[in-house]
Structure 1
Amino acid sequence: MPATPAWPPRSAPRLFVPGPLAPDAAVPIEGTQAHYLLKVMRASAGFAVVLCDDMTGEWAAEVAETGKRDLTLHVRAQLREREQVPDFTLCAALLKKDRFDLVLEKATELGVRRIQPVLTRRCVADKLNLDRARTLVTEAAEQCARTALPELTPPVKLDALLRDWEASRALFFADETGGEPASRSFAAHPGPAALLTGPEGGFDDAERESIRALSSAHPISLGPRILRGETATIAGIAVWMATGGDW
C-alpha cells in the first residue's frame, strides 16, 4: 500500500502575512501575493500554502476561495513555533544598490536578528528605500524557511550609532587594517553581539579611531585578503553563526 503523501508538500509556497494566525482562521490574500499564487502558482481550491506571521510561527493552510485578483486561505494547523533567533545585529555601511540588496538577502538567510544600515563618510549610497528593502528581506525569509523576520531599521550615521551604543553588546569591527582573528574574538566575547562592516572605500582614519575608542568594540580580521563590503559582511556573519550562533 503506497504511503500517504506528506501535507503540506515541501514544494508548497511560503508567505508572510499579518497575524496572529490561529486554527480555522480565514486569511485574505491580495496584491502581489495574490498575483503570485493565482497567476504564477496557478492555485485553486485545496492548494497548499505555508504561512508565517512573525508572531506565532509557521502554519499549514489551503486555498478556500479564489477571485480574479484575490483569494482566501483557510488555516488548518500549526507546523512550527516561531524560531528563537540568536541575538546578533548586523551594522552594515550602505553599499551600491545591487550590493546592498545582496547583503540584505544573505544576512536574512544566515539568521541575523536585526539589520542596522549605517552611513559613513565614504558611503557611495546615502539613502535606502525601506519599503523595498523590507520586501527583499521578507522574500529571502520565505525562501529560506525562516519563521522570524529580521528587524530592519532606518539608516543611521556612524557617530550616532557609536554614541548610543549599548555597552553590554560586543561590537565586532571588521577592520581592513587588521585585528584579532574573527573566530577567536567571537569565542572570547560570547553573548549579545553585532558586526560592523564598512563601505566600498572602507572607514577613514577618524572613523576607525572613534570605533576603536568604544569600550565594547573589538577589531577583527577576516583573513589575509581585502574583502569587498558585501563579502566581508557575509563572511563575518557566517563565522559568528558557526562560533556563537545557532549553527
Structure 2
Amino acid sequence: MLTLSLIGIGCGDPEQLTLAAIRAINAADLVLIPRKGPVKSDLADLRRLICAQALTNSRTRVAEFDLPIRDTAQEGYRKGVDEWHDAVAVTWSRAIAAHLGDDGRVALLIWGDPSLYDSSLRIARRLDPLPIIEVVPGITSIQALCAAHSLPLNDIGQPFLVTTGRRLREGGWPSGADTVVVMLDGGAAFQWLEPTGLYIWWGAYLGMPRQITMSGALAEVGPVIVAARQEARARHGWIMDSYVLKRVW
C-alpha cells in the first residue's frame, strides 16, 4: 500500500522544521524533490539542504523530478489551474512509480503548510493509484511574517480575512474586514486600494537569508515596497511575498 506524506517545511529557514516533520522525513522510503526550472532553483536547493540536515535514515532515498509549468496565458483561471493540477498529478504518479512502485512511504516537502494556499492536497487526491494521504503541518508565511514584524495578527475579539492578490485587485477591500492577509500576489495588488487609513506589514523571502521586511502607512511605504519588490525580482529571478493590511479608524 502506498502512503504519501505531505510535510510542511516552513518558509525557508530549516530551523522551522518541527520534530514531527523530521520524524516523517526519516520514516519515508522515498523523498521526492520537485524542480521548477533554473529561475526557482533556490526552492529545490532548500529542500536538498533540509534533507542533508534532517535525514539520518540511510534507507531513505531522495529523488528529483521536473514539474510541468502552468500556462498562465490560457483563458479561464480555474480551468487553467485544474488542467495544470492534472498534469502535476500525472508527473507525481510517474515519479513515484519510477522510484518506489506502488508500495511504501513517499514524502513531498511542502513550502509553508499543505493546508493553506497550497495545491498539494488537491493534487494528491488525483494520483493513480490513490495513496493513503498524511499531512504534517508546517509554519506558514503568515506566521513567519507576523513574527518578523512582532505583529499580533488579530485585534482583540476581531476576525481577520485571508485572500489572494488577484481577489484583492478584482474585488477591492473585502467588506466587513479590518485586517486582511494577502498571499499569492504577483503584482502588488495593494496599489489598487485607496490607501488612506491603511497600514501594511510586508515581507518577502521570509525565513531565508535574503528576507526583506517593510511596514508603515500604505500611502507612504507602498511605493517603496513596489520598487523594492521589482528590484528583488530582477535580482533573484523570482519572489514570494505576503503582507498584512489593517484599517485604522
Report the TM-score when normalising by structure 2.
Answer: 0.28
Asked which structure has the greater CA Rg, the reply is 1
* TM-score, length basis structure 1: 0.29
Higher helix share: 2
